[in-house]
């Protein structure tokens, strides 16, 4: 009986080697990660922040509706917190047209980020669009994002609290 097992071992090894080799050859080598699409830019604040604001994000909206920005929210940047005055942001987005609007957060930014889904379902939101009615071009940017490309906002978004 032992002799029979010894005789079959080389055959078994040959078959296993052949199966492993075929499986290895059948696997496709990944060529890399897909490029990321999105928008990047800079947000600058000037002057002392209003006491009611705990943070500011740049929100990417699919439509400009300042009465209900949460309804059109696609994604948002990192949070800028006082006393910082500059935020270099990147927002990952899909192909399409978007409006970038700075939005003030009136609650703890960490709580906002951790509970965004619950917050968006609430009847009143801790979000305040920060648009300068005298000069909305300083604060609102329309951008188009191509497939697998990053759009750079040439002019910074400026929030002037010194007035």
* End-to-end Cα separation, the chain, in angstroms: 96
Is 6 contained in some domain?
no
Residue 1 clears pLDDT 60, i.e. is over it: no
pLDDT in tens, 84-104: 999 999 999 988 999 999 999
The count of domains in the chain is 1
Asked whether the bond before 144 is cis by omega within 30 degrees of 0, the reply is no
Q: Return d(Cα 84, Cα 159) in angstroms, integer.
A: 13
Is 79 contained in some domain?
yes
Report the predicted TM-score, pTM, of the whole model to 2 decimal places: 0.73
Q: Above pLDDT 70, what percent of the chain?
A: 84
Strands 96-105 and 55-61: antiparallel
Question: In terms of Cα–Cα distance, which of 122, 145, 150 is closest to 62?
Answer: 145
Is 18 contained in some domain?
no
pLDDT in tens, 94-136: 889 999 999 999 989 988 888 887 777 776 778 888 887 777 7
The domain that holds 120 is classified in CATH as 2.60.40
Is 84 contained in some domain?
yes
Question: In terms of Cα–Cα distance, which of 47, 57, 50 is closest to 109?
Answer: 57
Q: How confident is the model at residue 16 (pLDDT cuts 50, 70, 90)?
A: confident
Is 147 contained in some domain?
yes
What domain range includes position 108?
Answer: 38-160
Q: If you average pLDDT over residues 41-53, what whole number do you get?
A: 93
Question: In terms of Cα–Cα distance, which of 156, 116, 120 is closest to 139?
Answer: 156
pLDDT in tens, 60-88: 999 888 777 778 889 999 999 999 999 99
């Amino acid at each position: 009986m032992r002799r029979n097992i010894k005789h079959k071992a080389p055959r078994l090894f040959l078959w296993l080697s052949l199966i492993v080799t075929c499986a290895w050859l059948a696997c496709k080598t990944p060529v890399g990660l897909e490029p990321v699409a999105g928008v990047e830019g800079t947000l600058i604040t000037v002057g002392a922040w209003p006491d009611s604001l705990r943070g500011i994000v740049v929100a990417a909206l699919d439509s400009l509706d300042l009465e209900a920005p949460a309804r059109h929210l696609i994604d948002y940047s990192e949070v800028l917190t006082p006393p910082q005055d500059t935020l270099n942001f990147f927002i990952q987005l899909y192909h399409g047209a978007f409006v970038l609007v700075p939005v003030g957060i009136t609650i703890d930014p960490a709580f906002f980020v951790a509970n965004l889904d619950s917050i968006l379902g609430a009847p009143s939101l801790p979000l305040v669009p920060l648009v300068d009615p005298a000069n909305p071009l300083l604060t609102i940017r329309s951008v188009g994002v191509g497939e697998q490309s990053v759009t750079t906002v040439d002019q910074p978004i400026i929030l002037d609290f010194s007035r």
